[in-house]
Structure 1
């Protein structure tokens, strides 16, 4: 099969795809919508209120057969662990870097023809507001599309939401982010905080 230059980076194989689809089927989760067809994506995944989010995310990753990257503190990228983290998509970032975290990740995007970065904009499983906007800055500078994916625990749906390119107005972008995720029930809704003007 010829690789589409405009498609997201592929990963996994038939076995991992079968495992992912089987886990979703057994647990009753289904997809609603489709992953956008862009070679460079910054995927925001929320609401993030439970450790179950990670396992669900792995099942989704396997089922979609995509290769993602995620951020990790450079200090945990020690021998042996480093090889494992990089194998599953980890990117070491140093917050003290002269370029900052955003600059470090943008360099990664610039060096790749295809790349998906997955982030949890809340940054924690505890109630937090406002959410972090670093993912928007990365997408803007890397000229990557932002894709919002929600885990609806009430209906057991993985929802593919809005897709957009940031023009640098992060306050405007975050309104889109908050409005979408306010419609996505978390496993623990009391841990999710939205602006007062956003209807849930």
Structure 2
């Protein structure tokens, strides 16, 4: 989708606004997107990419790439096939290799890990940022006010429990598509 078409649809017709940015000098980061309450979140993320001229990626289970048209489309949109198997260290190894191989790697992750209500976030986004020595960019999708907000970069120091709670606090009260499933 071209930037002009995305701006016309998202900003003008649908009435959304985009606040903040990822600094141009930040070639590698983890984008922590929340609240994740709907499949619409994916489409919001996809349409924001050309508007912000943002080269970003997301992880997709490799099984979806067995269907060539879908695999090509996912790759075009920033998808990276990974083997999500039972061994989480294998997935982490795959992600670390991808960060090492690419000059630009902005990985979008939903820390909730599901569209359902959760009491605790998964910590993979934080562990990836620590292991690759990259910042975390919190990004919220506020459906009530129609605002995508890229917040200030956060550089993790290793105090995972405290820092994940701090990042999570930035999303409290942000209404997702289904606010009752959002971050408390």
* Length-normalised TM-score, structure 2: 0.88
Q: Which residue of 2 aligns with 1:166?
A: 156
Residue 99 of structure 1: how far off its partner (Å) = 4.2
Compared with structure 1, are the counterparts of its residues 52 and 32 closer, same or farther at alpha carbon in structure 2 (3 Å cutoff)?
Answer: same
Aligned runs of 1:1-200 on 2, under 5 Å? 16-24=2-10, 25-37=12-24, 38-78=26-66, 80=68, 81-96=70-85, 99-194=89-184
Compared with structure 1, are the counterparts of its residues 160 and 17 closer, same or farther at alpha carbon in structure 2 (3 Å cutoff)?
Answer: same
Q: How many residues align?
A: 180
- Cα distance in structure 2, aligned partners of 1:123 and 1:181: 15
Structure 1 unaligned runs (5+)?
1-14, 195-200
- Cα distance in structure 2, aligned partners of 1:123 and 1:192: 12
- Cα distance in structure 2, aligned partners of 1:54 and 1:180: 20
- Cα distance in structure 2, aligned partners of 1:79 and 1:52: 22
**RCO (CA 8 Å, sep 6+): is it higher in 1 or 2?**
2
Structure 2 unaligned runs (5+)?
none
Q: Secondary structure at the match of 1:113?
A: coil
CA RMSD of aligned residues (A): 1.9
Greater alpha carbon shift after TM alignment, 24-33 vs 77-86: 77-86
Contact 1:147 1:163 in 2 (8 A): yes
Greater alpha carbon shift after TM alignment, 109-118 vs 15-24: 15-24
Residue 29 of structure 1: how far off its partner (Å) = 0.7
